[in-house]
């Protein structure tokens, strides 16, 4: 066996998910991300450390000891910092574009052009309006919605003279003051994206500190888009409440029409859920037992949180469910959709259906999704899947049996509802009292993706188990939550296996106080939603800080992206640092080509904002660093009685 073949076999095992390993163990007729990762080795070290500049077309310029400046004279610190700003802008643009579509759908609803949508949570709409001091008394929901949508659009489009309201009203007063005094408070989402892109043009800003601060502003623009997205999705589709389902490839049912929804935006996937319910009879008429919907990535998280649709897998293994031979259609919207899905689909007779005008894949079916014809188009997608099922009849499927129970659906409102059974007057005190007594050692948010620079799902699992053992309250979003769903950590059973005594007692008290209210007991890790929903965690951090009477940099709360991959993860990391949180990243990002920029990320950010990054690829060491950060804050805050 050649070295290359040996390496390929090793790398095909770059996952700890048994369902993934089972699919990859077979002779496959086409490649997957696991193979393409091997083919890309060795990866370019200039790109990997951030010192490749392609901003002007005299380049690429690559910084070496022999050539320490680009043709224009830019040094490593300018190049690395500029690249970081542009990466953050990619993330901020993606989240903001997602939420812009939700705002535009609400506008269309107001104008009578979105007949299939309605206000599902008038309570959330009124809560948002009250947050912004918009009058609610005696007003119709649609009148209030018009004011809220206008405010959201203003936060997207303002050109000068004021700053983003969605930040001002959702973070601590201390953070508002910090962002304003350090000139990183966005005027609006689009203004930051335009001015930061201009600032990184050739021949513009060469100052690394100025550039990094602009990256933090881009992060805050990202926060704005994300928070608007979560709020408006809750209004349009309902505030998540606990749901009980299953996850991993064992949810695929060979006797049903299997449809995977993949991407991020719930505008279409919510309609697919509705259409699937309406079209059960059509599937049965085609000889199937019904329709099995399942989710991938964050569209999967959206429909899990609100509709209980089971997640079939997370980002890295998105091609693999099709390799069971049983997926009839994969309906995709935006972001994190590997172009590679189409080649796999062609091998396994799956129909990939793209639905966004800015996310098409050659060879795929395309439905030009519009809010005016949303349900009709969702039904069209399902009929394509039913046609696929008819062609699949008689074809042998090879489906891993792995699946685990899942408890998800924890919006902040749902958590407060649980906490209210213990302290109705001040629900957040359920957490802060547990922090004060030492029952909980801190709170950790797991966010982000998968990345083949590590082993798929391994860091997520290692760090979570270690922190659970040490009594840290665990929250998760995005594909981190996807890992925990697949691997059985979103279950009550995982508490017995992994939680320390303090965390066990905390969750037991919640279970006892809410006995009979839910379909089952609470899980080890609380799933807060898709990657766009990370602001739910910040809302909790803000409430904890306010209850302690301090600013966020003082509370024992950490964030981690154990397997960060996307530009969005970079933007999220930046705003979490600006919020004042220690942020662990399990993949070293391309900033190490400049000691100065790396030093700003690791230390200077701490001095100025209270938050900072920790790069650590080893899961066990990362958990130790996160615990150290929590303990330091608890000690400084003197929270333990």
Residues in contact with ligand MSK by CB under 6 A are: 264, 297-298, 315, 336, 448-449, 478-479, 530-531, 565-566, 568-569
CB atoms < 10 A from the CB of 223, how many?
29
Return the bridge partners of 247, or none.
404
User: Which of the 8 DSSP states describes residue 556?
Assistant: S
At closest approach, how far in Å is the CB of 417 from ligand MSK? 26
Contact 529, 490 (CB under 8 A): no
At closest approach, how far in Å is the CB of 516 from ligand MSK? 34
Q: Which is nearer to ligand MSK, 448 or 553 (CB)?
A: 448
Q: Which is nearer to ligand MSK, 315 or 526 (CB)?
A: 315
At closest approach, how far in Å is the CB of 530 from ligand MSK? 6
Q: Which is nearer to ligand MSK, 70 or 240 (CB)?
A: 240
Structure tokens at 364: 């795929």
At closest approach, how far in Å is the CB of 98 from ligand MSK? 10
Q: Which is nearer to ligand MSK, 238 or 448 (CB)?
A: 448
The b-or-e profile of 321-356 (16+ CB within 10 A means b, else e) is bbbbbbbbbbbbbbbbbbebbbbbbeebebbbbbbb
Q: Which is nearer to ligand MSK, 546 or 560 (CB)?
A: 560
Distance CA(443)–CA(441), nearest Å, equals 7
Pairing, β 525-529 against β 52-53:
unpaired
Distance CA(125)–CA(147), nearest Å, equals 10
Q: Which is nearer to ligand MSK, 399 or 564 (CB)?
A: 564
Distance CA(223)–CA(576), nearest Å, equals 9
Q: Which is nearer to ligand MSK, 298 or 309 (CB)?
A: 298
At closest approach, how far in Å is the CB of 562 from ligand MSK? 11
Cα–Cα separations (whole angstroms), residue 82 to 60, 591, 601:
14, 10, 14
At closest approach, how far in Å is the CB of 431 from ligand MSK? 24
At closest approach, how far in Å is the CB of 15 from ligand MSK? 15
Distance CA(352)–CA(641), nearest Å, equals 57
What is the DSSP track for 122-144? HHHHHHHHHHTT---TT--HHHH
Say which residues have a Cβ less than 8 Å from residue 192's Cβ, sequence separation at least 6. 92, 186, 217, 218, 220, 221
CB atoms < 10 A from the CB of 639, how many?
21
**Edge-to-edge strands, sheet with 311-313:** 311-313, 291-296, 257-263, 329-332, 351-354, 365-366
**E-assigned strands of 128-285?**
243-247, 257-263
At closest approach, how far in Å is the CB of 568 from ligand MSK? 5
Distance CA(388)–CA(207), nearest Å, equals 56
Distance CA(444)–CA(473), nearest Å, equals 6
Q: Which is nearer to ligand MSK, 311 or 610 (CB)?
A: 311
Contact 267, 374 (CB under 8 A): yes
Q: Which is nearer to ligand MSK, 301 or 377 (CB)?
A: 301
Q: Which is nearer to ligand MSK, 19 or 480 (CB)?
A: 480
At closest approach, how far in Å is the CB of 234 from ligand MSK? 17
Distance CA(569)–CA(180), nearest Å, equals 24
What is the DSSP track for 271-307? HHHHHHHHTHHHHHHTT-S-EEEEEEHHHHHHHHHHH
At closest approach, how far in Å is the CB of 572 from ligand MSK? 9
At closest approach, how far in Å is the CB of 479 from ligand MSK? 3
Q: Which is nearer to ligand MSK, 409 or 478 (CB)?
A: 478
At closest approach, how far in Å is the CB of 266 from ligand MSK? 12
Q: Which is nearer to ligand MSK, 212 or 297 (CB)?
A: 297
Count Cα atoms within 13 angstroms, Cβ side, for 524: 27
């Amino acid at each position: 066996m050649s070295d290359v073949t040996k390496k390929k076999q090793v790398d095909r095992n770059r996952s700890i998910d048994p369902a993934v390993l089972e699919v990859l163990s077979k002779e496959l007729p086409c490649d997957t991300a696991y193979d393409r990762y091997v083919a890309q080795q060795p990866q370019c070290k200039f790109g990997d450390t951030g010192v490749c500049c392609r901003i002007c077309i005299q380049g690429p310029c690559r910084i070496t000891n022999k050539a320490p400046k680009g043709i224009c004279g830019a040094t490593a610190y300018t190049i690395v910092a500029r690249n970081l700003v542009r990466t953050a802008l990619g993330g901020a643009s993606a989240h903001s574009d997602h939420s812009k579509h939700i705002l535009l759908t609400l506008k269309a609803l107001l104008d009578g052009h979105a007949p299939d949508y309605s206000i599902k949570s008038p309570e959330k709409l009124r809560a948002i309006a009250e947050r912004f001091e918009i009058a609610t008394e005696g007003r119709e929901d649609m009148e209030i919605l018009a004011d809220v949508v206008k405010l959201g659009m203003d936060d997207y489009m303002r050109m000068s003279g004021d700053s983003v309201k969605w930040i001002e009203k959702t973070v601590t007063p201390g953070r508002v003051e910090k962002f304003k005094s350090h000139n990183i408070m966005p005027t609006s989402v689009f203004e930051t994206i335009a001015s930061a892109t201009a600032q990184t043009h050739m021949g513009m800003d060469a100052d690394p500190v100025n550039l990094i601060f602009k990256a933090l502003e881009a992060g805050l623009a990202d926060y704005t888009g994300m928070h608007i997205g979560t709020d408006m999705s809750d209004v349009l589709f309902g505030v998540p409440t606990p749901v009980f389902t299953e996850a991993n490839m064992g949810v695929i049912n060979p006797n049903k029409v299997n449809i995977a929804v993949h991407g991020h935006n719930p505008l279409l996937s919510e309609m697919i859920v509705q259409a699937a319910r309406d079209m059960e009879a059509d599937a049965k008429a085609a000889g199937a037992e019904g329709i099995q919907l399942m989710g991938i990535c964050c569209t999967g998280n959206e429909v899990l949180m609100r509709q209980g649709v089971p997640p079939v897998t997370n980002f890295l293994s998105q091609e693999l469910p099709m390799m069971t031979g049983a997926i009839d259609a994969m309906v995709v919207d935006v972001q994190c959709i590997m172009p590679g899905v189409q080649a796999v689909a062609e091998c396994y007779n799956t129909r990939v259906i793209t639905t966004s005008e800015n996310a098409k894949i050659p060879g795929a079916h395309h439905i030009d999704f519009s809010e005016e014809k949303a349900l009709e188009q969702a039904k069209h997608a399902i009929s394509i899947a039913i046609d696929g099922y008819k062609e699949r009849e008689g074809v042998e499927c090879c489906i891993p049996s792995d699946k685990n129970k899942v408890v998800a659906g924890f919006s902040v409102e749902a958590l407060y509802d649980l906490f209210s059974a213990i302290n109705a007057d001040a629900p957040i005190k359920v957490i802060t009292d547990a922090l004060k007594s030492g029952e909980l050692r801190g709170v950790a948010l797991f966010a982000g993706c998968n990345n083949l620079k590590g082993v798929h799902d391994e860091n997520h699992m290692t760090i979570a188990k270690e922190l659970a053992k040490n009594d840290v309250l665990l929250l998760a979003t995005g594909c981190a939550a996807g890992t925990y769903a697949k691997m059985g950590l979103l279950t009550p059973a995982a508490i017995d296996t992994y939680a320390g005594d303090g965390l066990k007692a905390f969750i037991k008290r919640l279970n006892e106080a809410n006995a009979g209210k839910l379909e089952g007991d609470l899980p080890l890790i609380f799933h807060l939603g898709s990657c766009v929903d990370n602001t739910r965690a910040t809302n909790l951090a803000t409430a904890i800080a306010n209850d302690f009477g301090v600013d966020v940099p003082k509370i024992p709360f950490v964030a981690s992206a154990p397997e960060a991959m996307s530009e969005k993860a970079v933007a999220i990391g930046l705003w979490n640092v600006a919020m004042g949180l220690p942020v662990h990243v399990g993949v070293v990002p391309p900033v190490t080509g400049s000691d100065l920029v790396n030093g700003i990320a690791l230390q200077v950010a701490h001095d100025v904002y209270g938050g900072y990054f920790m790069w650590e690829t080893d899961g066990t060491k990362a958990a130790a660093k996160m615990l150290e950060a929590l303990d330091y804050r608890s000690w400084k805050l003197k929270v333990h009685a």
